[in-house]
Each structure stands twice: as C-alpha cells, then as structure tokens.
Amino acid sequence: MNVLSDGSSILLDHWRLIYHLLLILLFGQILIGSALKKIFGERLTADEYFSLGLAGWMIPALMLSMLWFLWGPVQSLHFDVLIATVTIALFAFWLFPRSKKEVVNESKIILLFLTLLFGIFIFLRLAFVSQAILPSYFDSAQHYMIIKDLMGNAETANAAASFDLLITNYYHKGFHLLALFITSITQAEVTDTMLILGQILLAVIPLSVFFIIKHETKSNGAGLFAVLLSAFGWYMPAHVLDWGKYPALASLALIQFVFSVAYLLVKHGEGIPAQKQWALYVTLTAGFLAACFAHSRSLVIFGIIFLAWITAKWWQRLPQVPQYIALSVVIVGIILEIIFIQTHEVLYLLFDPYGLTSWLVTLSVLFLLGFALRTYPQLTFSAVVAIFLLIASLFVPVTIPGYVNLTLLDRPFVEMILYLPLSLIGGLGLAGLEGYLLHSQIKLKAYQTVLGNYVGVLLIGLVVINALTQYELYPSDCCQIVGSDDLVAMDWMDKNLPSEARVLISAVELRVLASDSFEGYVGGDAGIWIRPLTNRTTIPLPDHSDFNQQTILNNLCDMKVGYLYVGETGQTFDDSQISIHPEWYKILLSMPKAKVYQVIGCD
C-alpha cells in the first residue's frame, strides 16, 4: 500500500513534468515505429512495432533536444504545445487508418497488455522518487552540474559555443541534453527531471526486450517472461540509479534498439527493396550514434554483440561434437571468470544482483539454458558468448589520452548490463521448453499438455513472487548521501557564506577497475552537492583524515580553506575530532545531523 500511495503522490505533485515526458516519449515511439513499419510492413506485428518504438524513442527526442540547444530561435517556440499537437496528430494517423488485416486480435490483446504493463511499471517506479531527497550518490551531483552548464550556455543562444561545449570535455552528454530540454520546456527543477526521467527510462527498458524474443520464438508468453525478468528478475539495472548512473541507463534502451534492428537486418535484409534497405541502414546508424552519445561505452557493447554473433555463426557451422566442445569451453571459461572474480576485492560484488536475493530466478534461467540452446542455438550461444566477453572486458586494458589504468568496461557497467543476455536466455528457454513439452516424443500423458500450456504462467509467477518478497523499489541506504539536515545546511551556506568561500568536504577513493588502481577522490557525503547548489568552491579531503593532527590544519591553511562541512549521512568526517578543537574550528551552524565550521586556526 505504501508503494501505491507514494506513486500516487509523485504523480500528483509532478503531473506536468510526467505528462510532458510521456508526450515526448510517445512522439519518439510513434515516429520510430512508423518508420520501421514503412520498411517492414506486414513482417512485424503491432506489439513488435510497439516494443521497437519504445526502444528507439530517444532517437527523435535527442535530435529534437540538439536542435533546440544549437539553434537559438527554436528555443522561443512553445514546445509543450507543439509536441502535444504533433504527438496527438501522429497518434491519430497511426491508430485510425489501420485495417483489420494489419492487426490481428491476438496482437491487439498483447499490445494492450504491454501498454498496461508500461503504465504499471511507471507507477511502481515513481515510488522511488518519494524517498529521494536528491538524486543518489556523487555521480548525480556531477550530472547536475553538466546540465546546469549546458543550461547557462543555451541561454546565450550562441550556436558555435553550444556545439563546442557538446564535443569538448565529453561526458555522455546525451542524457544531459535531453534532461535540459525537458527541464526547459516544463520549467521543472533539474533534480526533479533527473529523478523522474530516470524512472521513466527504467519503465521503458524491459518492454524493449519483448521484440526480439517474440519475433524469434513467436511466443507471447516467452516475450512477456523476458520483459518481467528485465524489469524485476534482478535488482539490476534499477540499482544503477542508486549510483547516479543516469547516462548509462539512458544508453540501455538504445543498445537494445540497435541490437534489434541489426537482428532484423540479418533476418529480413535480403527480402526488402534496396531503397528500404538504405532507410534501415540510416535508422541503424542513428540508433548507434544516439547510443554512443548517451554513453560512450555503448561502443564496447556493440563490439561485444558483433563478436558474439560472428562467433555463434561460426559455431553453428561446426559438426555436433566440436559444437559441444566449443560450448563447454565457453561455459567453463565463464565459471573460471566467476571463481577468479570472487577472489578479487574490487570485483567480487559483480554478481551480487544475480545471486543473493534473486538466486531462484537465476537458477530458473540456467535451467532454461539447455532448452534455449536446443531450439534457438545461434541467438542463445550469442548470449552466452556475450556474457563471457562482458566479464572478460573487465581485464582488457585500454589507453586514452588523459586517463590511466582504464579497461574496456568497469564493474558497474558490466554489473548493470548482465541482465540483458540473461533475460534473452530466459525468454528463449521458456519458448524452447514450451515446444519441448508440447511436441516431445516422450509422452507425459495428460500432464504434457497442461505443462506445455501453463509452464510460462508458472515461471512468470515465480518472477512475480520473487519480486514481491525480495525486490526493493525505494532508494538504497548504501547510496543516499543527502539528508534533510543537509538541505537546510546548504541553504544556510548559500545565504551566509561569502561567494569566494572555500569549503572542505569529505571524499573517498574510487576503485572500480580490475587493476584496483586509485582513480581519484569522489564525494563521501552531501558536501559534494555544495558546489552545484551554492556555487561555492569545494576542496575534497579523505573522510578518514585525523583532525587532531596539526599537519591537517596546516594543509587546510595552505589550501586557503575557510570552512569545513560535516554531512548527515554517508562517509563523513569524524565530528568528534573537530569539535574538541574550538581554537582551530569554530562552529557556525550546528544541526542534529549536519554541521558547518569555520577554520580559524590559521591565524
């Protein structure tokens, strides 16, 4: 009941922002779905077009956002009214002229069911926002600053400067540009846009998985099972919002779109006219560029998908015995990777989302693997190889100017995306199991028909029950670094500290690469939000610093630090070491869970 009331509360409080977000989403979904329908016609069903359109909705949205950002005169248009008008017109054009032959009854029912699931997913995800004071973790503060920088540049209406800002200091600007566009046309707070856009993305991503399972297996049940696995089978990818990984999340649906369109190109490319092939290539390229613009590491994922598919094509041409040997080698390789990672301090958490609270779901997918390989060998083997390559990418070093000790992917990104090949295996495996039970020569008497018809319902029920008992829709305590006292303290600092103030904040080491190398300091508590929210300069210092030591005070004096912040939650400074030295640190603001000191010991 708390989820229902919390979701309703956010829906009522932020209805205008949610309304415009859904309009933009529908605008992009209809455009992409209609474009693909011009290419493929009757080859796809209405529910498949719906799923593909949801996967690619950000392509038109990002194009529109870029046009708005780069072209000053466009910013004066009333985009809220314009988008609403165009979307309603597109929807009417898409909905009413459809003949009975185009949409069969079964496809209509599944389309309605997917739409209902989308609404439920949005409603459930909004509960997260009700307990999020600000977007979680230190990454969110960085994303907020980028959006604010883009906003300041957009207000100058200088196209050359705007373009230069987009291509320099690249930091996955796609999400930031989209968030800026939505914030500007709705007049919402940037933090609200980040929080709600993140939850909308989470609601969309699972539905994008439906297409490839449905098209490959022709099983609606298998497609819906894959959707539920992606949504609530594991606490990834939703947990990435606890880490503030908004650009990475934005790239997931686009990655699935590119994967799906590439699959269609392989499956039906030779059967469509040359002109439509070119249109398909343009659509594929647009999705590829949009995904890389949303997150640069999408390029690595596309490379892994390509290698996995090529390997699977080679594997399928082998005789049966070499096939078994190659499959065994890959599976043993994954097992060895898992064993090695469990001994690696930085990486051992990689498989937590797929074990601790979801071990029953993961075991079910592993059980279905054999049926998936038996019935859909190439796509299933591709998913298995992709899992091996995703894990292996953690140990492949890359060299980029200005960065050191990088690998192809880091642990958070691999942890986030493993749900995708597992969901594909689960969907393919369910379809294979259904077929086996219905057509196997080994008769199970009356139970065979019953199991064949209802095994999908049983497995879907398993995922739902696991979600109801184990899944957490609210922000994780691990990553909430801002409390209500912190907001009050930052408001006080904004009003009372001089604009040139330099504030010391808590910092922790960042280590997420297999090399366990130090990658810099990141915010340990709410102090990381002082600069974005108050425009005061912040100086990071390790949270375990000993403020009893004269050397620490000397360092603060050398850095011209005038103030010190102790946050409410997270990895904060030890206030007991600070408060016992009133001759060095004068208390300016004392709240039950947050404090601001002035450094006075430098005199």
pLDDT digits (tens, 9 = 90+) for 452-489: 567 888 899 999 999 988 898 999 888 888 989 999 99
Highest mean pLDDT among 349-358, 398-407, 589-598: 589-598
Whether the predicted pLDDT of 71 surpasses 80: no
> Which of these three, 470, 495, 523, is where a domain ends?
470
Helices (H) and strands (E) in the chain, counts: 25, 8
Q: Are residues 357 and 284 in the same domain?
A: yes
Q: Residue 103 has what pLDDT?
A: 46
pTM of the model: 0.90
Shared domain for 489 and 536, answered yes or no, is yes
The answer to whether residue 218 is domain-embedded is yes
**Closest by alpha carbon to 376, among 310, 463, 435?**
435
Does one domain contain both 150 and 199?
Answer: yes
Least trusted range by pLDDT, from 9-18, 486-495, 511-520: 511-520
The set of long-range contacts for 37-43, using a CB threshold of 8 Å and a minimum separation of 24, is 38/276, 38/279, 39/272, 39/276, 39/279, 39/280, 39/283, 40/264, 40/268, 40/272, 42/102, 43/268, 43/271
Claim to verify: residue 45 and residue 174 sit in the same structural domain: yes
The string of pLDDT tens digits covering residues 80-97 is 655 666 666 555 555 554
Per-residue burial over 285-308, b if 16 or more Cβ lie within 10 Å, else e, is ebbbbbbbbbbbbbebbbebbeeb
Same domain, 209 and 324: yes
Q: What pLDDT, in 10s, does the model give residues 263-278? A: 999 988 777 888 888 9
Query: For residue 594, is pLDDT > 50?
Result: yes
Q: Which residue has the higher pLDDT, 172 or 17?
A: 17
* Average model confidence (pLDDT) across the chain: 86
Whether 492 and 459 map to the same domain: the answer is: no
| Per-residue three-class SS string for 438-451 | HHCCCCCCHHHHHH
Write down the pLDDT at residue 173.
83
pLDDT of residue 329: 95
Q: How confident is the model at residue 102 (pLDDT cuts 50, 70, 90)?
A: very low
Residue 162 lies in a domain: yes
Residues 234-273: tens digit of each pLDDT = 999 999 999 999 999 999 989 999 999 999 999 887 778 8
Average of pLDDT values for 213-235?
Answer: 94
Q: Which domain holds residue 227?
A: 2-470
Q: Classify residue 548: in a domain, yes or no.
A: yes
Domain assignment of residue 362, yes or no: yes
**Amino acid identity, position 298:** S
More confident residue, 292 or 173: 292
Q: Are 357 and 493 part of one and the same domain?
A: no
- In sequence order, the β-bridge partners of residue 503 are 538, 563
Same domain, 325 and 248: yes
- φ and ψ of 87, to 5 deg: -65, -45
Q: Are both 399 and 514 inside the same structural domain? A: no
pLDDT band at 515 (very low <50, low <70, confident <90, very high): low
- Give the residue among 308, 332, 306, 329 at the shortest CA–CA distance from 386: 308
Predicted local confidence at residue 439, as pLDDT? 73
Asked if pLDDT for residue 100 goes beyond 50, the answer is: no
Contact of 481 with 565, CB cutoff 8 Å: no
Say if 364 falls within a structural domain.
yes
**Please, which pLDDT band fits residue 397 given cuts at 50, 70 and 90?**
confident
The per-residue pLDDT for range 278-303, each reduced to its tens digit, is 989 999 999 999 999 999 899 999 99
Instruction: Identify whether the C-beta of residue 366 lies closer than 8 Å to the C-beta of residue 387.
Output: no
Over residues 164-184, mean pLDDT: 77
Residues 328-337 pLDDT 10s:
999 999 999 9
Q: Work out the average pLDDT over 364-389.
A: 95
pLDDT of residue 6: 87
Determine the pLDDT at residue 504: 92
State how many domains the chain has. Answer: 2
Q: How far apart are CA 346 and CA 415, in angstroms?
A: 13
* 309 assigned to some structural domain: yes
Which one, of 452, 456, 47, lies nearest residue 225 by Cα? 456
Does some domain include residue 26? Answer: yes
More confident residue, 477 or 417: 417
Helix (H), strand (E) at residue 298: helix 298-317
Mean pLDDT of all residues in 49-78: 82
> Of 421, 436, 470, which marks where a domain is finished?
470
Q: Is residue 584 part of a domain?
A: yes
Average pLDDT over residues 502-513: 81
CA distance 167 to 508: 30
| Strand 563-566 relative to strand 537-542, pairing | unpaired
Residue 5's pLDDT is 87
Band (pLDDT 50/70/90 cuts) for residue 42 is confident
Position 170 confidence tier, pLDDT thresholds 50, 70, 90: low
Q: What is the pLDDT of residue 162?
A: 52
130 and 100 in a single domain? The answer is yes
Q: What is the pLDDT of residues 180-201, one digit of tens each?
A: 999 988 889 999 999 999 999 9
Look at residues 421, 446, 470 and tell me which one is the last residue of a structural domain: 470
Q: Is the pLDDT of residue 315 over 90?
A: yes
Q: What is the per-residue pLDDT for 508?
A: 85
Listed in sequence order, the residues at least 6 apart from 217 whose beta carbon sits closer than 8 Å to its beta carbon are: 223, 375, 376, 427, 428, 431, 432
> Which of 180-189, 368-377, 397-406 is the most confident on average?
368-377
Mean pLDDT to the nearest integer, 355-368:
90
The pLDDT value given to residue 94 = 54
Q: What length does the chain have?
A: 603
State whether 172 and 71 are in the same domain.
yes
Residue 99 pLDDT exceeds 50: no
The reply to whether 426 and 506 lie within a common domain is no
SS3 state at 595:
strand
| Residue 151: pLDDT band with limits 50, 70, 90 | confident
